[in-house]
Chains A and B, each alone.
With several copies, the nearest count.
Chain A
Amino acid sequence: MSLKPGRPGHANLAIGLLAGAAVVFFALPLVGLLVRVAPAEVWRQLTAPAVQTALRLSLTVSLTAAGLSLLLGLPLAYALARLPFPGRGLARALVTLPMVLPPVVGGTALLAAFGRRGLLGGPLEHGLGVILPYTTGAAVLAATFVAAPFLVITVEGALRGLDPRLEQAAATLGASRLRIVATVVLPAIRPSLVAGLALCWARALGEFGATITFAGNLQGRTQTMPLAVYEALHTSPDGAVALSLILLAVSLALLAALRGHFFKGG
């Protein structure tokens, strides 16, 4: 029996069939959406100023949340994977919880912590003069709360799989721990880091329940695209679908740019 290059064997066939089924499963609903909506409707929505405002806000909020997730999440992932400290198991568990919490309850929890009557609300308001709920900052916090765990868990998994000898070699060459993280650890896990960042950003972009509960639905301030979609669903289902397609297109473009940047030719 001879195999020509690229001709799939039995295993390839099985893998290909299942992978193909998966693609169909993901594609079909999107096709279903596409055929439902007239291109004119998409164009109408895209040119509406309120939609452009929501889109801009969505990008600002989700990118800021992704940035915050990096800032807090990378050190946390590193600490969970590499620094033994008491309560590490508990900390790891804690991080996974926002993923399981129904988002609306997540918003309630954020109110309980940072609302005016929350644990930190008083000190924040009287000490710093900051009232978080109903602000763009609250939308960012809500998105960070639900999205950061995806980055943390992905990166921690990758760190656990990384050969620690590379870090040891860098240490013998005199590199500080921060330098080792920046120049050895993160580049070595780059594919997983990119995956985690994509997951985190996408989750932040799609975030709805925690935002509407903690930040409200204020046009221009906290009304991100998913909230605009929700509002539109109430009156004009086709408009809502058109809005979603716009959201999809934008995120496709951004993810493609991200991947193109990090995996040339990938």
Chain B
Amino acid sequence: MTAGLVADIAVRRGGFALELQFALAPGATVAVLGPNGAGKSTLVEALAGLVPLARGEVVLAGRTLERPAARVRLSPQERGLGVMFQGYCLFGHLSARDNVAYGPRARGVARARARAEAQAWLERLGVGEVGDLRPAALSGGQAQRVALARAMICRPALLLLDEPLAALDVSARAQARRLLAGWLAEAAAICVIVSHDVRDAIALADELLVVEAGRLTARGTADELRARPPTDYVAAVLGEG
């Protein structure tokens, strides 16, 4: 039994199959790279408990989150997660601030305190001025930062970020990277960051996982992978960074 994350994942979705295993040490941050449709978002959803495993298991800090063979499956609520979705999934009827405050509120924090904390997060990410706007009135980059704040505010044990910086402009991206890096260094959380931008991946993660067509095809630091790229995709993507 390890203190980190053990993921042995087999998921079917329509015609697509995801099958991979990996283990992460406590406090580790990995970036998941891979071509479109490789299964990165599916991996995030499987870890979050939103798509059921066909086989395998997910164990976090010694606690079994899911193991179909033993008919164990914790609900997303019980997993202690923070998830940022690729499509954001903001609540359309709530203001940006109340979107961010949603997690704390669900965990019993009083409304005023939750809102104040949410506003602080928005400001840290450079979008303090959109607190009162509904998601429909947010620009793409503003919405992405609201979604990022919503995932991080609860200090989860497992943080899953799906393309957290893809819509951000230069300065917002630098700011968000700094914030994320600082938070990860300080928190004991395990963090899985999906990104197709290899520079973001290298800046944020200790290690890279490469997923192609539903399989783990490479794992290592950027330098290791650049030195011996196991697939064409790895060579191409690291050539960019």
Contacts and interface: CB of A to CB of B under 8 A. Distances in A.
- Indicate if A touches B (C-beta under 8 A): yes
Interface of A: 1-5, 9, 165-166, 168-176, 179, 183-184, 187-188, 190
B55 to A, nearest CB: 14
Greatest chain A CB density within 10 A among B72, B82, B93, B94 is at B93
Given A3-B75, A166-B91, A174 B103 contact: yes
Given A1-B78, A172-B82, A173-B150, A165 B89 contact: yes
A169 B83 contact: yes
Contacts of A5: 52, 71, 73
B73 A169 contact: no
B102 A175 contact: yes
A179 B74 contact: no
Q: Which 8 A-B pairs give the minimum distances between C-beta atoms?
A: A175-B106, A171-B76, A169-B89, A173-B103, A172-B83, A187-B93, A174-B106, A4-B71
Interface of B: 48-50, 52, 64, 71-83, 85, 87, 89, 91-94, 102-103, 105-107, 150, 154
Contacts of B74: 2-3
A2 B89 contact: no
A166 B85 CA distance: 11
B95 to A, nearest CB: 12
A46 B92 CA distance: 45
A172 B75 CA distance: 9
Contact of B107 (A1, A168, A174): A174
Contacts, number: 75
Contacts of A165: 85, 87, 89
Contact of B89 (A9, A166, A187): A166
Contact of B72 (A2, A172, A176, A190): A2
Nearest to A176: B77
24 contacts: A2-B64, A3-B72, A3-B75, A3-B78, A4-B71, A5-B71, A5-B73, A9-B75, A165-B85, A165-B87, A170-B102, A171-B49, A172-B50, A172-B77, A172-B79, A172-B81, A173-B154, A174-B77, A175-B102, A175-B106, A176-B106, A179-B106, A183-B102, A187-B91
Contacts of A168: 48, 50, 76, 89
Given A173-B102, A174-B77, A4 B89 contact: no
Contacts of B48: 168, 172
A4 B107 CA distance: 23
A1 to B, nearest CB: 7
Contacts of A1: 78
Contact of A190 (B49, B78, B93, B94): B93
Contacts of B106: 170, 173-176, 179
A136 B75 CA distance: 44
Nearest to B93: A187
B214 to A, nearest CB: 21
Nearest to B64: A2
Nearest to B68: A5
Contacts of B85: 165, 169
A174 B89 contact: no
A22 to B, nearest CB: 25
A184 B48 CA distance: 19
A84 B13 CA distance: 19
A170 B87 contact: no
A184 B73 contact: no
Contacts of B79: 172
Contacts of B75: 3, 9, 171
A168 B49 CA distance: 9
Contacts of A171: 49-50, 75-77
A170 B77 CA distance: 9
B48 to A, nearest CB: 5
A166 B99 CA distance: 12
Greatest chain B CB density within 10 A among A165, A174, A183, A188 is at A174
B72 A184 contact: no
Greatest chain A CB density within 10 A among B49, B72, B76, B81 is at B76
A11 B107 CA distance: 16
A179 B92 CA distance: 16
Contacts of B77: 171-172, 174-176
Contacts of B87: 165
